[in-house]
Structure 1
Amino acid sequence: MTRFHSFCLFAAVLLVLACGPVRAADFRSVGSASVVLYDAPSSKSGKRHVAPPGMPVEILARYGAWVKVRDIDGDMAWTEAKGLSARRTVVVRAVQARVRAAADDTAAILMTADKGVLLELVDPQAGDWVRVRHQDGIGGFVRAVEVWGI
């Protein structure tokens, strides 16, 4: 193993040790402005893509002012924590999610949301159902298994 490879391995181990564990299922949403997602916790590292406002992400680790996040597809990247918001959103992962008037399969359907639609999470206490609101103002309940971000 060359000196360079030894140094890289040592640096990687230090980074892993420095990243404290975060409680399971710690979700945030991208704030009002888009954020850049990077390969490493540095704006000098490779840019992966730009995350749009409102996109939910799961925080996996923290390193100073940076957080390692996972998106709905399971892709992981780093971004600055200041670009995330405590306002919670979820994204529909079912082909169509039915937003109902009550947390019951027999309740009236207020709207259907297609796969990929962002919904505001009104009540973060998740059970089998979660309370959500669409950007048009329609609010109701959707099955938790039909959305991602809780």
Structure 2
Amino acid sequence: MLMQKSLLYKLLKLRNRACGLVAGALLCVPGYIMAEIEYSSIAENAVIMYDAPSLRADKLYVASLYLPVEVVVNVDGWAKVRDSSGSLAWVEKKALSQQRYVVVTVPLADIHQSADMNSTLVFQAEENIVMEWLDSDAKGWVKVRHSDGQTGYVKVNQVWGS
């Protein structure tokens, strides 16, 4: 009987140690998985996007004012960014703004008065229209402002950059 208790004690101790290791490892994982995506926007009109972090690198395309981008890598004076199409490019950090914008990714996005499908439809925005990101306080919705001043809520799956 004493031998069984001793064996049981050892097994429980091993199980607790294993659970502690697994729990500790899992505590490290969410910080990596849930790392917040850093969005910025283009702060100037006609910003050149490069294939490497250098003014001597090949020019890929020209980005317009307010284009939302996801910052993927930061290096001295440069940021590697991704746009809504998934394209990667390098841009000078001085051409970026912390002001956030979103771009419509569906043919026609519905912008509602509140974060509710049954609320009043304020306006609709066509694909590729850029709107100022105001807040993401309602799950599944983004509060936006159109360049003409109208504000409302759009479903998060209708825009990119939120």
TM-score range, shorter chain: 0.7 to 0.9
1:20-35 correspondence runs (5 A) = 23-35=35-47
Q: Hey, what does 1:111 align to over in structure 2?
A: 123
The TM-score with structure 1 as length reference comes to: 0.82
- Structure 2 gaps of 5+ residues are 1-34
1:35-72 CA-partner distances (Å, limit 9, x unpaired): 11001000000000110000000000011110000011
Which structure has greater strand proportion?
Answer: 1
Correspondent of 1:98 among 110, 127, 133: 110
Q: Hey, what does 1:51 align to over in structure 2?
A: 63
Separation (CA, whole Å) in 1 of partners of 2:136 and 2:114: 16
Q: Is 2:45–2:63's contact at 8 Å kept on the other side of the alignment?
A: no
- What is the Cα-based RMSD across aligned positions, in Å? 1.2
Separation (CA, whole Å) in 2 of partners of 1:118 and 1:137: 13
- Structure 1 gaps of 5+ residues are 1-22
Q: Hey, what does 1:61 align to over in structure 2?
A: 73
Q: Hey, what does 1:79 align to over in structure 2?
A: 91
How many positions carry a matched residue from both structures? Answer: 128
Separation (CA, whole Å) in 1 of partners of 2:81 and 2:137: 21
Q: Deviation at 1:125?
A: 4.6
Letter in 2 for 1:61: V
The TM-score with structure 2 as length reference comes to: 0.76
Which structure is larger by alpha-carbon Rg, 1 or 2? 2
Q: Which stretches of structure 1, 4 residues or longer, exceed 2 Å deviation after superposition? A: 124-127
Quick check: 131-140 or 117-126, which moved more? 117-126
Q: From the superposition, tell whether residues 66 and 55 of structure 1 become closer, same or farther in structure 2 (CA, over 3 Å).
A: same
The percentage of aligned residue pairs carrying the same residue is 38
